[in-house]
Amino acid sequence: MDFFSSLLELHAGLLKREATASELADLSLQRIATLDDRVHAFLHVSANCVAAAAQKTETVIGRESILDGIPYALKDNMCTRGIETTCASHILKGYIPPYSATVAERLDDAGAVLVGKLNMDEFAMGSSTENSGFFPTRNPWDLERVPGGSSGGAAAAVAAGMVPFALGSDTGGSIRQPAAFCGVVGLKPSYGLVSRFGLVAFASSLDQIGPLTHTVEDAAIVLQAIAGKDERDSTSANIQAPDYRAALTGDVRGLRIGIASEYFGPSVESGVRDAVTKAIALLEQLGATVSPISLPHTEYALSAYYLIAPAEASSNLARYDGVRYGVRAADAGNLLDMYQKTRSTGFGSEVKRRILIGTYALSSGYYDDYYKRAQQVRTLIRQDFLDAFESVDVIVSPTAPTTAFRLGEKVHDPLTMYLSDICTIPVNLAGLPAISVPCGIIDGLPVGLQMIGRMFDEQTLLRAAHAYEQAAGMAPLRPALAMGVKA
Amino acid sequence: MSLSRKDVLHVATLARLHVTDAEQEELAQELSRILAYAAQLNTLDLVASLAGVEVTSHMSVSSMVTRPDAQGESLPPEVVLANAPDAEEQQFRVPAVLEG
Amino acid sequence: MTALETVIGLEVHVELGTKTKIFCSCAAEFGAPPNSHVCPVCLGSPGALPVLNEQALALGIRAALALNCSVPAQSKFDRKNYFYPDSPKAYQISQYDEPIGQHGFIEIAVGGEKKRIGITRVHLEEDAGKLSHSPYGDVSFVDLNRVGIPLIEIVSEPDIRSAEEARLYLEEIRSILQYCLVSECRMEEGSLRCDANISLRPAGQREFGTKTEIKNMNSFRNVQRGLEYEQERQTGILARGENIAQQTLRWDEATGTTLVMRSKEDAHDYRYFPDPDLPRIVLSAAYIDARRGEIPELPTQMRERFEREYGLPAYDAGVLTASRGLAEYFDQTAQRVRDPKSASNWIMGELLAYLKAAMLEIDEIQVTPFALADLIRLIEDGTISAKIAKTLLKDMLDSGKDAKTLIADQGLIQISDEGELRAIALRVLAANPKSVDDYRAGKEKALGSLVGQMMKETRGKANPQIVNRVILELIAGGE
């Protein structure tokens, strides 16, 4: 048993007493100790998680929760009471939240054991985890390459088998793109399905929490535990989560799959294109029908996103002012000076860049030309999807146009970095659910297949992804780094 | 669309960010490039097709989410102040705020 | 030089009378120890999210309707972005272009004439924290208890033409909102706050002059004083041929002057945008009707009814409708007595004096309207004299006992027995021959002295009408 085993296998092992919850927590700590000095996925490891697990197993034994006694980790933008939560930013160094995020509470209720907090691009702004204020995370498949971002720590930790699952957050692709780069499954649920209470906001109308796992079935199990109405999040949808695992029938006969040419533009590398094309062919063999669709406003999605997300961020990040929490610059004279020094030294350059863009887009005289127009474009993009879903059930595309790139390759060119999110961003603008599953390995690097579903139709999405995954026979993917490691 | 150093300074002040002279120049160029890209939203074809299109400012499918007017728990003051960089007598302390 | 016309618009902030804050479940309470009503939402903790208090919304809508606003089926919350230590998120959740109420008005009485003042809008928002400053001027302190107290902001049209009208408008707003149980509207506690815009223009000119904004006028009197001062100041500037500078000013009560807070160049750019954390407000017609149904008879209507139904003078009606509690007290008393004016006299006289001296509100006293009506009826049917009744009312207020109990305890029933009074009168006349002679000599006043003696003898219990008649008869008979 290791963390490439499925959650059901781990659960069965716990029930059969082949391992205890504290042994699993301990195993996680060992894996982290062995691997993380190379991967750098964790910002914080809870040394006392073994003791916590022991206590937990005693109190929850006999319950039917699959996650009972299963270790996991959280991206460091989800608040954990009593445990430092930094968003990988210097401005929140040492910040101990007074409360826990709803997702952390729900996983805790389900019996899962938190082993640590994961690295990310600062405040989730980035696609490579190089924007972490502390250190970059490396891709377990190739330590010279990025794990993607912003949930790079989460993808890398799962990919390297340090934890069986993790939660990330996705604002423009931040779960799916690192999942693709690291060869794991990443699910961004429909906006409103999972509570954002306790998720440190980047762009409130786009952010959504979701699982990173080795298999689609694991993603369904974790989603089950975290989905559903939360009275503390006004944008949380008032729907009862259906039984997601029951949807995994393996049968996609008659499923209508749409292919949008807009997602196969010239920026998509040929290797990625081939892998995705092969995956589509496999789905067809399984009995799905494939037809072309059009999402004509895709070309405007990136522009709209890079106005809306920074605009919301400029407001969401204004609270880091050195008054109530976080780090205050030491040598400030007056109040204005205190604000400016605190924020200028506390935030990294990408965060500052986006705050400035967002502030500009909202400032008087520019609101109509930028922010308002972007929100109108968003309406058109949603409508594109609604129209497409008249004739298809799932839309399939690459998750990212390339495989994992080298550290430092794009960090000095923000615009190019932004362009790598072209396939994932429209989904957030429309609030839809989407998943990335591994669909091949090129030159030793995983490729991700993205599937996009109808609003709140995670069942169909998971069914399609699961059927593909089973037929492709690739999951779980195990990078060479993780092979030689003995637990 | 291009931003001047003065624009950068103005926006930075609004956002309470300090930018050095050197950063002003660099940011003016970077932000100009990003905004030039975003300016595709201002192309005539698109602007024309946007006439009368509603904005999507909320992703939420729910509307009118409210809570009852019932008191819940507040945090103990020591917890409220636990993360404060500077506090005194159960209050947050900041450099003097001039009336205004 | 042509006459100048004063143009004033008011922005009034009112705290809504909810139990909890607008976006979290912390108590909305005045005067608690610092930072004791604070949760992650009030603290602006990373990741915390707002959820709208249904009662804050209901009170806001009720207020908007009571101010004759139209309430649209949809509205939304926006973020108003600015950095200040009293604003924990560095934005205030407010409403920008889709407020809950628009195009309203109220009426005030200016010099006996009714005048309509337009209300541009009513919107919901959250209050900020409280700052205090160290005496050395080096640091300030932040208390977040007030953060998130629900407010409505009421913006008037520039229809106000004098400082007095501004005060009348504000008083009318206060009584309407008090009547509707929307807010206690206590200016001294800050649950009603008022900022004003004021400008001058030559009479007859359509365009507005340059305006100044005045803040910190924290009582009704100061609103009038502040605006009178500013009107004079601007008149002086214009008379010298100079221009008004567009500024935000602070009223300083101690010196009775306005001081510059900031000039137009420092104007904020609040970067309003729709708050993505709060779904749009969607109101059904039934919901709005239900809120309309909660609005009681308002002060203006009640004033008119008191004049019409009870025949009260306008002055009385005005005084008695100053608060809903007082108006209802009078209404219930007046319904149970023969002469409503006597109820008005007792309430405006004895009762209000008592309330003022004891610093109590009408709903805090031990005498119910029923008990007061009983007392008045005892006078009307001649059981006790008005003088005794005054003493009795004091006892009632102090003890909480009703008039009949006190009368029985103290033996205070009026002496109306003519035989008994005649016997006492004979003694009084015999003891005061000079007064009798004076009266006979035409000094009318002497009669008063004799009646006074009668009352003294009977410890005030003698029925004054009978005493008068008996004394006159005896004097006439003795001739």
Which residue, among B18, B74, B78, B94, would best test binding to C if mutated, counting the most C CBs under 10 Å from its CB? Answer: B74
Q: Does C262 touch chain B (CB under 8 A)?
A: yes
Cβ pairs B/C, distance under 8 A? 134
Residues near C459 by Cβ (< 8 Å), separated by ≥ 6? none
Q: Using CB atoms and an 8 Å cut-off, which of residues 142-171 of chain C contact chain A?
A: 142, 144
Chain C residue at shortest CA distance from A206:
C276
Distance CA C159, CA C148 (A): 31
Q: Note whether A415 contacts B: Cβ–Cβ < 8 A.
A: yes
Residue C462 scores a pLDDT above 60: yes
CA-to-CA distance for A107 and A246, rounded, in angstroms?
Answer: 20
- Chain C positions touching A77 (Cβ under 8 A) are 47
Q: What is the tens place of the pLDDT at every residue in B69-85?
A: 999 999 999 999 999 99
Pick B29 or C1 by higher pLDDT: B29
Q: Which residue of C has its CA nearest to B88?
A: C141
Q: Which positions of A are annotated as active-site residues? A: 75, 150, 174
In this complex, is the C-beta atom of C276 within 8 Å of any C-beta atom belonging to chain B? yes
Which H or E run includes C396? Answer: helix C386-399
The domain limits of chain C are 4-290, 297-410, 418-477
For chain A, residues with pLDDT lower than 50 are 486-487
pLDDT tens track for C58-105? 999 999 999 999 999 999 999 999 999 999 999 999 999 999 999 999
State mean pLDDT over C226-240: 94
For the question of an ipTM over 0.90, the answer is yes
SS3 content of chain A, % helix, strand, coil (to 5): 40, 15, 45
More confident call, C381 vs A251: A251
For residue A90, how many other CB atoms are within 10 A of its CB?
16
Give the number of other Cβ atoms within 10 Å of residue C87's Cβ.
23
For residue C272, what is the nearest residue in chain A, using CA coordinates?
A362
Query: H helices within A183-300, ranges in order?
Result: 216-226, 270-285
Matching residue, tokens 């400030």? A332
Average pLDDT rounded to a whole number, residues C46-58? 98
Structural domains in chain B? 5-49 (1.10.20)
pLDDT of residue A298: 93
What's the pLDDT at B100? 45
Among A4, A11, A48, A6, CA closest to A26: A48
Cβ of residue B57 closer than 8 Å to a chain A Cβ: yes
The backbone torsions φ and ψ at residue C197, rounded to the nearest 5 degrees and listed phi first, read: -110, 130
Tell me the backbone φ, ψ of residue A73, rounded to 5 degrees.
-135, 155
Bond from prior residue into A476 cis (ω within 30 degrees of 0) = yes
pLDDT at residue A210 in the model: 98
Q: Which two tokens stand for residue A396?
A: 């399939």
Query: What percentage of residues in chain C have a pLDDT greater than 90?
Result: 66
Residue ranges covered by each domain of chain A? 7-259+388-481
Please tell us whether the domain made up of C418-477 is placed in CATH 3.30.70.420: no
Chain segment A343-355, per-residue pLDDT in tens: 999 999 999 999 9
**Contact in structure between C249 and C214 (CB atoms under 8 Å):** yes
CA distance linking residue A283 with residue A465, whole number of Å = 10
Phi-psi region of A228 (alpha: psi -120 to 50; beta: other; left: phi over 0): left
Backbone phi and psi for residue C452, each to the nearest 5 degrees, phi listed first: -60, -40
A79 and C51: CB-CB below 8 Å? no
The shortest CB-CB distance from A340 to any of B18, B53, B83 is to: B18
Determine the topology of domain A7-259+388-481 in CATH: Amidase signature (AS) enzymes (3.90.1300)
**Residue A365 confidence (pLDDT):** 78
Interface probe for C, chosen from A319, A337, A341, A357 (most Cβ of C below 10 Å), is A319
Residue of A nearest to C24 (CA): A232
Query: Do residue C274 and residue B57 have CB atoms under 8 angstroms apart?
Result: yes
pLDDT value at residue A21 = 93
pLDDT at C309 over 70: yes
Length of chain B: 100
C431 vs A264: CA distance, rounded Å: 123
Do the bridges between strand C212-215 and strand C192-202 make them parallel or antiparallel, or are there none, so unpaired?
Answer: antiparallel
Checking if the pLDDT of C252 tops 80, the result is yes
The per-residue pLDDT for A419 is 77
Q: What are phi and psi of C79, to 5 degrees?
A: -100, 130
Distance from CA of A76 to the nearest CA of C (A): 12
The pLDDT value recorded for residue A57 is 66
Q: What is the mean pLDDT of residues C346-362?
A: 90
Contact (Cβ atoms closer than 8 angstroms) between residue A428 and residue A305: yes
Residue C145, token pair as written in the block = 């208890």
Please list every residue in chain C whose beta carbon sits closer than 8 Å to the beta carbon of residue B62: 279
Q: Which member of B80, B96, B100 has the closest CB to residue C133?
A: B96
- Percent of chain C surpassing pLDDT 70: 99
Residues 6 or more apart whose CB falls under 8 angstroms from that of C112 comprise none
Chain B residues within an 8 Å CB radius of A376: 50, 53-56
Give the residue from C18, C24, C35 with the most B CB atoms within 10 Å of its CB, the best one to mutate: C35
- Answer whether C138 touches B (CB < 8 Å): yes
Q: Cα angle vertex A100, ends A135, A211, to 5°?
A: 65
What's the sign of the alpha-carbon dihedral A15, A17, A20, A24? negative
pLDDT at A420: 78
